[in-house]
Amino acid sequence: MEEPRIGVFVCHCGRNIGAYVDVPGVVEYVKGLPNVVHAERNLYTCSEEGISAIKKGIQEHNLNRVIVASCTPRTHEPLFRSACEAVGLNKYLFEFVNIRDQCSWVHMHEPEKATEKAKDLIRMGVAKARLLEPLEEIEIKVTPSALVIGGGVVGMGAALNLAAQGFEVHVVEKEPELGGTLRSVYKLYPTNEEATKVTNPLIEKVKNDPKIKTYLSAKVKEVSGFIGNFDVVVNQDGEESKFNVGTIIVAIGADKLKPTGQYGYGEMPNVLTQLELEERMKKGEPVGQNVVMINCVGARVPERTYCSRICCMTAIKNASLIKESNPKAKVWILHRDLMTYGVDFENYYRKAMELGVRFIRYSLERPPQVIGDGKAEEIKAYHELRREEIELPCDMLVLTTPLIPAEDNQDISKMLKVSLDEFGFFLEAHLKLRPVEFAMDGIYICGSAKWPTDVTEGISQAYAAASKAAGPLRMGYVKPEAINALVNEDKCSGCGICELLCPFQAIELQPRDGKRVSHVNEAVCKGCGTCGAACPSGAIAMHYFTDEQILAQVEALFS
Amino acid sequence: MDNFEPKIVAFCCNWCSYAGADLAGTSRMQYPPAIRIIRVMCSGRVSPFLVLKALSVGADGVLVLGCHPGDCHYIEGNYKTMRRIPLLKKVLKQFGIEEERVRLEWVSASEGAKFAEVANSFTQSIKNLGPSTLDNLKQSSKGAKHG
Amino acid sequence: MAEKETTVITEAEKILDRENIIAKAEEVLDQGYDGIIGLRKRWGHVSPYLFTTKDELKELELEPRYNLATFVRQLKNKWPDARLGIVSRGCDERALDKLEELGVFSKEGVVFIGITCSMEQAEECNCEKPIYTPLDCTGCWKCMEECPKDAITRINVCPILVPDQFNLGLGQRKAIYLPFPQAVPKKNVRDPNHCLRITEKLECKGCENACEAKAIVHDMADQIVDLDVGAIIVATGLDFYDVSGLEEYGYGKIKNVVTAMEYERLTSASGPTLGSLDRPSDGKVPHNIAFIQCVGSRDFRCEPYCSSVCCMHATKEAMMAYEHEPGTKSTVFYMDMRAVGKRFQEYIARAKSDYNVTYIRSRPGRIEVNPENDNPIIWYEDTTTGEIKKFEAEIVVLAQAMIPQITKDLAEILGIELDENGFVKTPGGFLQPLDTTKPGIFACGYVHSPRDIPDSVTQASGAAGRAAEEIASLHSQGGK
């Protein structure tokens, strides 16, 4: 390694540093540190003047390491790094020392101590800078195509959006037809349009789109690789297709709970789920004259605490449809809170009331009872608001059940190395800020596979996931920051601890000359350092934060 | 000791505690000048070795600050820290080093006040403990990782 | 209740601080100046005087205003070599500038010890226009000086204090201020409505003198920028329904009835009370809080729809109160607990089990006040028992309805339609939920429909995806 020639630029930041830290004194001190060939002070290093001074300093003094001692890297590190790059210095040869937010501003009443601390901190920074090495960011080419797993309305929506943006899309659907859950649904709330009228045009578009390749009765068998380069194997009735994609969207939807054993389901022929009711209505089969619906069956209970979001509206929809086609029919909905949030859903709820649907609040502590011999004939319930037992004549009992995680979730989670949440649905990277992404780069999630969702929200999510998935595809490459881990294969003992610890599955043990050594996938590694801290052989170096560099800082503090 | 000025090394993770320390600064919250922050990307980077080294070269105290459990930018790094540091403290006792010289705290990016409070209270507790009694073991930091 | 009128309070007292001015004048004398020109009361009235000793300065008068320019000129003409200090206002300085221009006076050897006029005095003055260029500002905040009492809310050298709209009027800010701690860019902005210079009331140089980056300049105006774009996304968010018209809740009349947003600002670490939930009437921290849901929502008089997020935010607020002050008891009066998102039901359950939050199904009919302790008293029917009850809390938080934030003007300019509630109309049905009535314009977030953060963020990405699709299809059609 060449002899370090370090330049240090100490900022006054107007009075923010200058009024508390003796900046000229610090500059003098710094000049005396080994390997420091240039030190100067600036009023505002981040100003145009300051940036020019850095560039000039690098050129005039042939600097190969630069330190700016000023505010915080979280504001201006990119700015100073690009100043270095502009004159040909690798940006990873730049080190930032925080002498404002973590020094002058917090020791305002002790200027001498603040000055001493600033000297300490810069000495530490110089010690690290001596050991910095240039790092190259690798560019990973991205295959400009995507995989969408799931051919329901959400998967199709995502695929069409990606195709419209110009990318090839592979859609893999396990059923013999596209359409997903909506094939069974009768009408959609809040407009009461027929579901098939919504999905059929979508299916046609997908089939006719030259950029979309559909695999029906197919399942994804294997996925390997990483963002930009996923190798996918699809199994279609024994036949395998292989292709390579840049990003993946998971849109496999959810399963429906069958409430066997509850409220006579499975034993009494006139006890159905909402979906079964819809199938009957679709076929034009008669529904009852006295229809009782019980909401939150198998949901918001100790065994399954979550609310499935879409069921209240589903129940109200079906109740409204029954009343519309048969105004004399009596329909009661027994519920424990009505989740008709927003604008359209409240309106829909009100309309249902106007149509004559009756809403009765029951509580978890006093569930309704089904009375009948061989079939449901009467429902006894405790009406919470009238505070009395009521008896409802019933010739059809409809149970509103939640969506549950699809049974394929476990397999897909393992195959793609993505996480499931505590309920078994897919776990997004961040509930609020990254709602359609997985922590794993390049893979995205939308629809009921993530959380029960209706069509409108699902399509929004589909667009969102497609939008995110298109990012790397459009860029054509990804360039992860070079602060990643590097394994010294000679030192690696193949213990595998790092492989287990990596939150991103970026490490894999691979055979090398008869033994196994760790290999870090630079494309995926985020540089957190968990592996580096754990390696018993000291074989992993964390670029830009190596043990040597950190220890140099520590030792410099006490020298 | 009245004139004992401790020197405390604080390993702060880039995404949470370092940002929290910055916020303490922008809010002008004052704390004793004993703290010297070393930035790492994740508290999971901080191995017991680094903490021990810091103590061995003369740190009177070592702070390890990370994101709150569940909030780690790298998902699980702080869970590792959550296990390593308490274990390390137990080991320190056996070496005759007061385990109170090492402290683990969770400071989020918005907790400037907490950072200042931790800095204040830790500095005070180190002052009460007195200076570190470890000899200044100047080992070369290259190579001998577990010497 | 916090002051709702926009009266402007100046720090005239501080600036007209005699001590400060006298101290400065003494300094000038110490530097060997021949004298200080100011006002002194003699023989029953105030007139210009040349102070030559510190003792005399004890009798310095700052009121009334008396333009000293003539006196100064006459003195200097008799005594050209004099080095003088002048206790002056802006008008004095301007007058002397003009005299210098006319060639009858020289400012050499003259130093000004400035006084800033109060607002009332400023009304009678005229001034030039100043404007602020953010480009040069380095965010060093030199123009704000730190106050030892307010570690977070910094007081700066600007003399104007107005109610802080970010803190809903519960706190104050200067006419040059940082809008909120997370502002992007994190630079100060000027308030064109209250800044003395911008409103041409006074040539105040407070911020300009403080700024070492010289970022405050005088010749910038609003710019009209022409943008040629292929798609537009409307994400203008939400505003709050004014619940003071709902008299039964007593908002605006009963001090300790606050809105949820005011509660948020009070409990925010960067808010006007630095995170202490000081109740408005007496500043005491309450340990018995009532939250009332659906105030203005699900109400035919106001907004018939459900604002969607209030059930969850009230629960969060109740939990926060407990975290701040363990033992706090919170009661939430609700209609339906709409906790439909991931982990939301579990959150409510935790609130009940670990945070001392009770949920009562009820829509309170009236809030009165207990005159002895200013506690609000809620009259309500517990719908599950049928009883009419009174509930005395120390503070009541109203979960006010949230309305879409888009003016009819903006909608007209964009050419998009709004529905009867003011939300952006989305005629695209199920498959184009983010499209507005105008092709190429998309909407997301609360202005689209009542949405929480996860859904809004999703819609944001979704709208971006739709916009990308539009633009891509325009490209492929050979469009621009």
Interchain proximity C269–B28, CB inside 8 Å: no
| Cis peptide bond upstream of A435, omega within 30 | no
Residue type, C189: V
Pairing, β B35-40 against β B8-13: parallel
Which residues partner with A366 through β-bridges?
A: A363
Per-residue pLDDT for A495 more than 60? yes
Question: C140, C141, C149, C152: which to substitute to probe chain B, counting the most B Cβ within 10 Å?
Answer: C152
Q: What angle do CA A248, A249, A252 make, to 5 degrees?
A: 130
Q: Report CB contact under 8 Å: A166, C472.
A: yes
Q: What are phi and psi of B39, to 5 degrees?
A: -85, 130
- Strand extents, DSSP E, A99-211: 140-141, 145-149, 168-172, 187-188, 193-194
**pLDDT above 90: percentage of residues in chain B:** 63
φ, ψ for residue C295, nearest 5 deg: -90, 100
- Helix/strand/coil for C420: coil
- CA neighbor of A180 nearest in space, from A273, A258, A283, A253: A253
Q: Which residues are CB-contacts of C384 (< 8 A; sequence separation ≥ 6)? A: A363, A384, A385, A387, C361
Q: Quote the minimal CA–CA distance from C147 to chain B in Å.
A: 10
Cα C334 from Cα C359, distance rounded (Å): 7
CB atoms B27 and C146 under 8 Å: no
- pTM > 0.80: yes or no: no
- Looking at residue C139, the DSSP 8-state letter turns out to be S
Q: What angle do CA C362, C363, C366 make, to 5 degrees?
A: 120
Contacts of A499 in chain B (CB under 8 A): none
pLDDT at C147 over 70: no
Total number of residues shown for chain B: 147
Amino acid at the residue A224: S
Degrees, nearest 5: CA angle A529-A531-A537: 120
More confident residue, C270 or C188: C188
The pair of three-digit structure tokens given for residue A364, joined into one six-digit string: 């978890």
Length of chain C: 480
Question: Would strands A140-141 and A239-245 be described as parallel, antiparallel, or unpaired?
Answer: unpaired
Contact (Cβ atoms closer than 8 angstroms) between residue C29 and residue C36: yes
Number of C-beta neighbours around residue C147 at 10 A: 13
Residues 319-378 of A with CB under 8 A from B: none
pLDDT number for residue C17: 61
* Cα–Cα distance for residue pair A450/A232, rounded to 1 Å: 22
Structural domains of chain B sorted by starting position, each given as residue range(s) with its CATH number in brackets: 8-146 (3.40.50)
- Count CB neighbours of C410 within 10 A: 13
Cβ neighbours of B44 in A, within 8 Å: 528-530, 533
Instruction: Find all residues with CB under 8 Å of A350, minimum gap 6, and list them.
Output: C304
Chains contacting chain A through 3 or more C-beta pairs under 8 A? B, C
Q: What is the distance between the terminal CA atoms of chain C, rounded to a whole angstrom? A: 55
Q: Check if the beta carbon of residue C312 is closer than 8 Å to that of residue C332.
A: no
pLDDT in tens, A132-170: 999 999 898 999 999 999 999 999 999 999 999 999 999
B residues 112-131 lying closer than 8 A (beta carbon) to C: 113
Contacts of A350 in chain C (CB under 8 A): 304
- Going along chain A from its start, the domains and CATH numbers come out as 6-135 (3.40.50), 141-255+404-478 (3.50.50.60), 258-401 (3.50.50.60), 485-543 (3.30.70.3270)
Spell out a b/e string for B18-44, using b for 16 or more CB atoms within 10 Å of the CB, else e. Answer: bbbbbbbbbbbbbbbbbbbbbbbbbbb
The pLDDT > 90 percentage for chain A reads 87
Is the predicted pLDDT of residue A295 greater than 80, yes or no?
A: yes
**B110 neighbourhood in chain C, CB within 8 Å:** 269
Is pLDDT of C123 > 70?
no
Which residue, C394, C403, C378, is CA-closest to C248? C378
Query: C146 to chain B: which residues are within 8 Å by CB?
Result: 28
pLDDT (tens digit per residue) in A27-56? 999 999 999 999 999 988 988 889 999 999
Going from the N-terminus, what domains does chain C have, and what CATH number goes with each? 11-129 (no CATH), 155-224 (no CATH), 232-236+406-476 (3.50.50.60), 242-400 (3.50.50.60)
**Per the CB < 8 Å rule, is B49 touching A113?**
no
Interface-testing mutation among A460, A461, A468, with chain C (most C C-beta atoms within 10 A): A460
More confident of the two residues C412 and C107: C412
Q: Do A342 and C449 touch (CB under 8 A)?
A: yes
Q: Which residue of B has its CA nearest to A429?
A: B75
C126 dihedral zone (left: phi>0; alpha: psi -120 to 50; beta): beta
Give the chain A residue nearest C444 (alpha carbons): A460
Beta strands in A395-469 (DSSP E): 396-399, 403-405, 443-445
Neighbour tally for A386: CB within 10 Å? 12
C149 touches chain B (CB under 8 A): no
> Which residue on chain A is closest to B54 by alpha carbon?
A554
Please enumerate, as own/partner, the contacts of C182-191 that have beta carbons within 8 Å and a separation of 24 or more: C185/C134, C185/C139, C186/C139, C187/C134, C187/C137, C187/C139, C188/C132, C188/C137, C188/C141, C188/C143, C188/C144, C189/C132, C189/C134, C190/C131, C190/C132, C191/C160, C191/C162
Give dist(CA A44, CA A62) in Å, integer: 23
A279 to chain C, minimum CA–CA distance in Å?
21
CB contacts under 8 A, B 53-82 vs C, are: none
Q: For residues C143 and C210, give the distance between their C-alpha atoms in angstroms, rounded to a whole number.
A: 5
Res. C89: pLDDT tops 80: no
CB within 8 Å of A307: residues ≥ 6 apart? A296, A299, A300, A339, A402, C339, C340, C344, C345
pLDDT score of C384 more than 90: no
| pLDDT above 80: residue C14 | no
More confident residue, A552 or C50: A552
Q: What's the pLDDT tens digit per position in C410-459? A: 999 999 999 999 999 999 889 999 999 999 999 999 999 999 999 999 99
Q: Residue C248 pLDDT more than 50?
A: yes
